[in-house]
Amino acid sequence: MAILVTGGGGFIGANFVLDWLSHSDEPVINLDALTYAGNLENLAALRGDTRHVFVKGDICDAALVGRLFAEYRPRAVVHFAAESHVDRSIHGPGAFMRTNVEGTFSLLEQARAFWGTLPAAVRAQFRFHHVSTDEVYGSLGPTDAAFTEEHPYQPNSPYSASKAASDHLVRAWHHTYGLPVLTTNCSNNYGPYHFPEKLIPLMIVNALAGEPLPIYGDGMNVRDWLYVRDHCSGIRTVLERGRVGETYNIGGWNEIPNRDIVQTVCSLLDELRPSPAGPYGHLITHVTDRPGHDRRYAIDARKIERELGWRPTETFPSGIRKTVRWYLDNPDWVAHVQSGAYREWVDRQYSAASDPT
């Protein structure tokens, strides 16, 4: 028995692989193209561990994926591989269409071909678990009810449109071909190994470097924040007990405006690593807003609790404290991911965005 994980070199995928192998000896075949967001250092703890088979490759490479299915005969696929950053999708949507839409299509086809060869009893147990986002549901007003699984799809960014497309493909492969799929739509994750182009890790690494903390627009955009290890346990729960063909929202019950997130990071750093230059809050700067910036996401995660008994264990204060500590304790990881390509992105994204007026 084994599972095939795609994108297991990225932020959530790597946390998932580490979490999986800390709970089970079932091997993980980890297929990752190692784009700018993939990093084998995330998996350094598994060096020499024969339960982890890393394969560098693209989910769009049908021949490679077909060979992996034939060789390892996984009982499940957990599909994380994606282009995941909204700002990058605004600058260059093509890569999002290729990996998130074509890649998911190609993976579904390879999974379907393999699944079709299995004996009936094994076929019934096979699962294709698609990891998606709450961003497919669009943007909420301040008093709107949180997203349930029945909320209409209203994606607003190239990223969320590409994820919405992939969710629809997964749904269709179940309805048309009977492929036993599960989809989870989760909120904004945070925690260890988060690439510092996303809000929380960017604020931590910029503050420590004495660089500006760029808040888009008025900073009152709201996200629901989910500690990544809670997300991993949510996925394990759905994979184990979720009803085939269903989607489950996974959220942290932590709706927080960006401004408060950045303030919290600054306060924790003031406590844990005070700067001789004074409180980190002085580095906060409001910059030009993201085009089409969704105002509010909120997840109603009652279905997964009701049906499967899952709830997150971290509160935001406990999770963010662990996260900040992790970045303070792992300066080498931070230094290594801030490569030339990373600097190029930061220069490109923030050089023109310095003044909202």
The set of catalytic residues is 134-135, 159
Q: Does 86 bind ligand TYD (CB under 6 A)?
A: yes
CA gap 193, 16 in Å, rounded = 11
Binding residue for ligand NAD, selected from 37, 146, 161, 205, defined by CB under 6 A: 37
Binding residue for ligand NAD, selected from 19, 32, 87, 294, defined by CB under 6 A: 32
Q: Per DSSP, what are the bridge partners of residue 28?
A: 3, 52
C-beta of 295 vs 303, nearer to ligand TYD: 295
The residue count for binding ligand TYD (CB under 6 A) is 12
CA gap 224, 329 in Å, rounded = 26
Q: Tell me which stretch binds ligand NAD (CB under 6 A): 126-134, 213-221, 240-248, 294-302.
A: 126-134
Q: Tell me which stretch binds ligand NAD (CB under 6 A): 20-28, 62-70, 74-82, 338-346.
A: 74-82
Binding residue for ligand TYD, selected from 202, 238, 239, 250, defined by CB under 6 A: 202
CA gap 328, 204 in Å, rounded = 9
Place of tokens 């996984």: 74
Q: Does 198 bind ligand TYD (CB under 6 A)?
A: yes
DSSP state of 218: T
Binding residue for ligand NAD, selected from 9, 234, 312, 319, defined by CB under 6 A: 9
Smallest gap from residue 270 Cβ to ligand NAD (A): 26
CA gap 341, 59 in Å, rounded = 23
CA gap 192, 114 in Å, rounded = 34
Residue 33: name the closest of 82, 79, 67, 66 by CA: 82
Binding residue for ligand TYD, selected from 254, 258, 264, 323, defined by CB under 6 A: 258
For residue 271, give both structure tokens. 């406590």
Q: Does 99 bind ligand NAD (CB under 6 A)?
A: yes
